[in-house]
């Protein structure tokens, strides 16, 4: 039962930490060809531990890239909910190596932090689920819910082969909800739960005018300059407050409820950190929305790049034959990235001059992900954090995009709970670390979460 499982987890902390050390010693760097054998070793190590703790049907499943490790425990009965745990066993490269204070694949605890590549992202965090299952099964014999685990090896290189894998395995992966432990809490004293991730429509515009660069003295004033048209298109996308002017853009945006807004604005507003990271004084953007709402809960439209004509030192007096821009829109529930891409394309074609040729391409379309705060999963996660951390978590949204989350939500028709335990852990950088106490608290939080879902 719950208390026995928690007790087991507590009395086996050092053992679990030592196991994590072993897992972290395997340099499973997915992007480097010389580490392909290590990727395989890491998958096998994980599968072995999953089998040892009692997971069943554990398999290493091939993809067109690095394999997926899958395992399940489905003996809670058909009345009990089924949870799909997603994580990744691959890690980022380690260079520059000389900036590490201890070797990245020789885990070491200093000042309460476990230093190693993958400690937080994501080996240490996914391992909390394996250890939660071990604690429950070893202390009582039966999980309160059905659990499926599914760990990929290509998250750090874009999860290219994961969507086809999910599409080919929807029955195997079918669940009532998914859970991902690959994120952060706000601080050691303030846990937080992400309930929304933005989607994306990434567009590229090419404007073609004259068949070659022309002398601006001889042709200036008689041609709609493609670089000027790019400027006109960009300027047509926002009003001066940052509100997006593409007709229909906001139509499907799920409005932020007063309650959600209140919860969201309980999150420390991050202005100080924003100022530190940007070097700017004042946030810009939609005046009716707070900083945290602008960067997490509102859809955006950002110019990622512009080009055209002469970019070197000094002067060249030309009208460029072609100019272009890359523009990506972050989307929130319930915007449809394909529809937004179409609205964007129509808008651009409408505002662009007839005298040039405008090509608009869709480079990427990712669905936003959203799990209502009042859903059973969110409420269970909230109670689990509060039980272990002693303080109720705040609810937050993340501005970024994790494409696979939306794929899982959409294909499995299941909500996602983000139950992360990281902090400012130098992920993707030298001296990646994971607060040891967060590892322990993480295991207990997951145990609570599993039991709560069964209520």
442, 378 Cβ separation under 8 angstroms: no
Q: Which residue is it, tokens 């209502």? A: 372
What's the CA gap between 340 and 96, in Å, rounded?
Answer: 40
Q: Which is nearer to a copy of itself, 42 or 214 (CB)?
A: 214
Q: Which is nearer to a copy of itself, 36 or 271 (CB)?
A: 271
Q: Which is nearer to a copy of itself, 324 or 393 (CB)?
A: 324
Least separation in angstroms between residue 418's CB and a copy of itself is 15
Least separation in angstroms between residue 212's CB and a copy of itself is 8
Q: Which is nearer to a copy of itself, 188 or 363 (CB)?
A: 363
What's the CA gap between 275 and 283, in Å, rounded?
Answer: 8
Q: Which is nearer to a copy of itself, 11 or 273 (CB)?
A: 273
Three-state secondary structure string covering 370-425: ECCCCCHHHHHHHHHHHHHHCCCCEEEEECCCCHHHHHHHHHHCCCEEECCCECCC
Cα–Cα nearest to 305, from 232, 203, 158: 203
Q: Which is nearer to a copy of itself, 21 or 219 (CB)?
A: 219
Q: Which residue is it, tokens 């298109």? A: 233
**Bridge partners of residue 396, in order along the sequence:** 194
**Alpha helices, DSSP H only, in 310-359?**
337-351
Least separation in angstroms between residue 224's CB and a copy of itself is 4
Least separation in angstroms between residue 211's CB and a copy of itself is 3
**DSSP category for residue 97:** G
Least separation in angstroms between residue 404's CB and a copy of itself is 15
CA angle 131, 134, 138 (to 5 degrees): 145
What's the CA gap between 442 and 448, in Å, rounded?
Answer: 10
**DSSP category for residue 430:** T
Written as six digits, the tokens of 340 are 């937004």
Least separation in angstroms between residue 392's CB and a copy of itself is 25
Least separation in angstroms between residue 253's CB and a copy of itself is 13
Q: Which is nearer to a copy of itself, 67 or 324 (CB)?
A: 324
């Amino acid at each position: 039962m719950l208390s026995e499982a928690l007790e087991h987890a507590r009395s086996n902390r050092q053992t679990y930490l030592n196991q994590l050390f072993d897992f972290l010693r395997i340099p499973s760097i997915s992007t480097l060809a010389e580490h392909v054998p290590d990727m395989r070793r890491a998958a096998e190590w994980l599968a072995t531990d999953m089998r040892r703790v009692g997971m069943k049907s554990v398999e290493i499943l091939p993809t067109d890239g690095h394999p997926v490790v899958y395992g399940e425990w489905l003996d809670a009965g058909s009345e009990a909910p089924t949870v799909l745990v997603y994580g990744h066993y691959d890690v980022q490269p380690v260079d520059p190596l000389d900036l590490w204070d201890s070797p990245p694949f020789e885990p070491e605890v200093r000042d309460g932090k476990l230093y190693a590549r993958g400690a937080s992202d994501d080996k240490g965090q996914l391992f909390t689920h394996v250890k939660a299952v071990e604690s429950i099964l070893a202390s009582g014999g039966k999980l309160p819910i059905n659990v499926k685990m599914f760990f990929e090896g290509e998250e750090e290189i874009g999860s290219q082969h994961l969507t086809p894998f999910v599409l080919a395995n929807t029955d195997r992966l079918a669940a009532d909800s998914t859970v991902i432990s690959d994120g952060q809490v706000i601080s050691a004293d303030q846990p937080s739960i992400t309930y929304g991730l933005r989607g994306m429509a990434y567009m590229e515009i090419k404007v073609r005018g004259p068949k070659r660069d022309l002398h601006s003295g001889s042709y200036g004033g008689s041609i709609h300059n493609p670089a000027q048209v790019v400027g006109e298109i960009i300027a047509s996308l926002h009003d001066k407050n940052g509100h997006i002017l593409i007709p229909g853009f906001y139509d499907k945006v799920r409005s932020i409820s007063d309650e959600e807004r209140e919860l969201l604005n309980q999150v420390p507003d991050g202005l100080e950190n924003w100022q530190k990271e940007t070097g700017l004084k004042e946030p810009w953007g939609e005046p009716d929305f707070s900083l945290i709402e602008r960067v997490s809960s509102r859809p955006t439209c950002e110019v990622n790049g512009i080009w055209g004509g002469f970019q070197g030192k000094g002067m060249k007096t030309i009208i460029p034959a072609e100019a272009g821009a890359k523009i990506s829109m972050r989307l929130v529930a319930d915007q449809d990235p394909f529809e937004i891409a179409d609205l964007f394309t129509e808008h651009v074609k409408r505002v662009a001059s007839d005298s040039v040729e405008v090509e608009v391409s869709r480079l990427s379309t990712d669905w936003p992900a959203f799990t209502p705060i009042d859903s059973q999963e969110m409420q269970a996660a909230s109670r689990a954090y509060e039980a272990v951390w002693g303080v109720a978590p705040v609810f937050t949204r993340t501005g970024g995009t994790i494409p696979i989350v939306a794929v899982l939500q959409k294909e499995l028709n299941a909500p996602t709970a983000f139950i992360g335990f990281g902090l400012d852990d130098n992920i993707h950088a030298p001296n990646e670390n994971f607060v040891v106490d967060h590892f322990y608290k993480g295991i207990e939080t997951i145990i609570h979460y599993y039991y709560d879902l069964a209520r």
